[in-house]
Amino acid sequence: MSAVNDVSPTLQAAYDEQYSDESTPWRELCARDKAANILAVCAGQQYPRVLECGAGEGAILKFLEGAGFCSELSAIEISDSGLRQIEKRRLRTLQHVRKFNGYEIPFADTSFDLVYCSHVIEHVEHPRVLLRELRRVAARQVFEIPLDYAPRVDMQSKHYLSYGHINVFTPSTFKFLLKSEGFEILTERYTHNSPKMIRYNWYRNMGMRRNWTGEMKLLVWPLYRALRRLQLGPALYRELEFSAYTCLTQATGFLKIF
């Protein structure tokens, strides 16, 4: 049995060979938007030393380096295949690439100005343990999560578990988690998946045939979203209709109850 501060053998085995050259085009397509969200919530701020926690195969690192986001990037990842793919990128500003056990970050206190976790927390068995480590190593943090929740989400458990999403959040439940651990939310951003991402997922990942029905859906989605916003109101629309939530935080306290 693994300790709380180790990722379980089941998860470790699942991720060890997760990344390959074949998956790079899809991951880079997604990473372009993820990097744009990081840049957006950090706009106007300077963070010279930046760590990515759960770096996958390094696609976000690539786009942040291309944007001149910081002078020093570092990365930690639990997957051996991810680490190999990151090394193959030979990024100019990448200072450290290290394997970690999913919870214990192998750097000293306040080693970084910013640490970011993009589409990571939904995969983590003990999110609070990791949040405390992120607070330890950096003054500020960026989080992005997919917004998987929908009514009767439990009926889709097989779907979400098939790609490792063991936690399901809405924006408010994720913000509650952060606030209960002493994080202050400084800037936030709500986003939809781009049509380009949707097309790639439909026609390449899922093998659907390209047809006029799917293309018509993409054309009318902006109108559908506008109608849903009117129907639900802005607050409920933010809670239920977006694809991802991104925020910049700083830790101002610790877990305190009663």
Per residue in 204-249, pLDDT tens?
Answer: 999 999 999 999 999 999 999 999 999 999 999 999 999 999 999 9
Nearest to 170 by CA among 235, 256, 78, 229: 235
Say if residue 53 is in the same domain as residue 91.
yes
Instruction: Please report whether residue 78 resides in a domain.
Output: yes
In tens, the pLDDT along 148-176 reads 999 999 999 999 999 899 999 999 999 99
The pTM of this model reads: 0.94
Give the DSSP letter of residue 221. H
Say if residue 180 is in the same domain as residue 198.
no
Say if residue 15 is in the same domain as residue 110.
yes
**Tokens coding 91:** 């990024």
Looking at residue 138, what is its pLDDT? 98
Say if residue 128 is in the same domain as residue 212.
no
Residue 201 sits in which domain range?
Answer: 193-241
Instruction: Please report whether residue 258 resides in a domain.
Output: no
Residue 26 burial by Cβ neighbours in a 10 Å radius (0-12, 13-18, 19+): middle
Looking at residue 7, what is its pLDDT? 76
Say if residue 149 is in the same domain as residue 215.
no
Say if residue 229 is in the same domain as residue 183.
no
**C-alpha–C-alpha distance, residues 86 and 90, integer Å:** 7
Say if residue 42 is in the same domain as residue 65.
yes
**C-alpha–C-alpha distance, residues 64 and 51, integer Å:** 11
Q: How far is CA 96 from CA 63, 72, 172, 200, 245, in A?
A: 17, 9, 34, 32, 28
Say if residue 166 is in the same domain as residue 214.
no
Say if residue 200 is in the same domain as residue 73.
no
Say if residue 103 is in the same domain as residue 201.
no
**Tokens coding 219:** 């054309």
What is the domain count for the chain? 2
Q: Which CATH number covers residue 130?
A: 3.40.50.150
Say if residue 13 is in the same domain as residue 116.
yes
- Which residues touch 115 (CB under 8 Å, ≥6 apart)? 50, 51, 52, 53, 134, 137, 138, 140, 141, 142
Say if residue 217 is in the same domain as residue 148.
no
- Which residues touch 81 (CB under 8 Å, ≥6 apart)? 15, 16, 17, 18, 19, 20, 57
User: Over the chain, what is the mean pLDDT?
Assistant: 94
